[in-house]
Amino acid sequence: MATTFIPGDLPDEQLAQVLGQTLAGLYTGPARLPDRPGGRTAALSALKDYSGKDYVGRNDLRGHVSRLSMYLRHGMLSIVEVAEHARARMRGRDLSEFLRQLTWREFFLLVLAQDGAKVLGNLEEPKYRARWTDALPDDVREARTGLPCADAWVTHLVQGGWMHNHERLWFSAYLIHWRKVDWRAGYRFFREHLLDGDIASNALSWQWVASTFSAKPYFMNQANIEKYSAGRWCNTCTVQCPFRGEYESIEGQLFGGPVNPAPMPPRGNDRRGGRR
């Protein structure tokens, strides 16, 4: 394979074009630089600037999340130095919740190390009678489902290479449970666009929603979306909302009735657990 030399002093306005030509065939869409700069220097600067204040409210789309996952994903920061920074700067519930999320990241990496390529298939049977199609629908990929919230989630993903964690959960549940699409199609879609989309966290988080790596499927309702988005889409939405209703009613519509958590057999090296 021929090696392309990229000058270290290449101006930013030329970088996207040169990198795009160098990496031709490895990406889709037009070549462009991400909104957040990459590299070790930028990663250290982002880490230094992050105070972690009010992280406990991270489930709100307006919450003070770190946006450090891209740097962790590409090895520009280590999980140890991020944890050390958190212990030095954060306190109380903000600290414990932040460390809990880092622990989940490490846990997923350990599962990948243990199970390897198996994480790209169902690690367990779904906890309900699932009938999934294999392909990602065109209207989802092109952000034209007609649902303002779902189309916004896809737009955030494709244009910015990032989605808030709650948006990822909502979109995953929408795709798997409402649109009846195999979680692996969503996994591939995320891998195509997410700047922080590693194999472990991506695949196993999708499996958690699908209930192939959890005791029951994750799903949400309209009230949950409205609450944690501060009504961003719900306040002006005029379409018939598929997420409207109480959880018990939606559970019956999606799964044919209550989904009882499946008993987990004891194992000496048990890797299962709740995600929330």
- pLDDT tens sequence across 22-45: 888 877 777 777 788 889 999 999
Assign 15 a pLDDT band (cuts: 50, 70, 90): confident
Q: What is the mean pLDDT of residues 117-136?
A: 97
Q: What is the mean pLDDT of residues 212-226?
A: 97
CATH of 138-255, one of 1.10.10.10, 2.70.160.11, 3.40.50.150, 1.10.579.10: 1.10.579.10
Assign 270 a pLDDT band (cuts: 50, 70, 90): very low
Q: Where in the chain is the domain with CATH 1.25.40.80?
A: 35-117
> Can you give the pLDDT at residue 273?
34
Q: What is the mean pLDDT of residues 45-51?
A: 97
Using DSSP's 3-state secondary structure scheme, residue 181 falls into strand
CA distance 238 to 260: 34
Query: Would you mind telling me the total number of residues written for the chain in this entry?
Result: 276
Q: Where in the chain is the domain with CATH 1.10.579.10?
A: 138-255
Using DSSP's 3-state secondary structure scheme, residue 275 falls into coil
> Can you give the pLDDT at residue 3?
63
Among 169, 164, 172, smallest CA distance to 136 is for 172
Among 40, 107, 111, smallest CA distance to 78 is for 40
The set of residues, in sequence order, having a beta carbon less than 8 Å from that of 109 and lying 6+ positions away, is: 200, 201
> Can you give the pLDDT at residue 272?
33
CATH of 35-117, one of 1.20.140.10, 1.10.287.610, 1.25.40.80, 1.10.3210.10: 1.25.40.80
Assign 262 a pLDDT band (cuts: 50, 70, 90): low
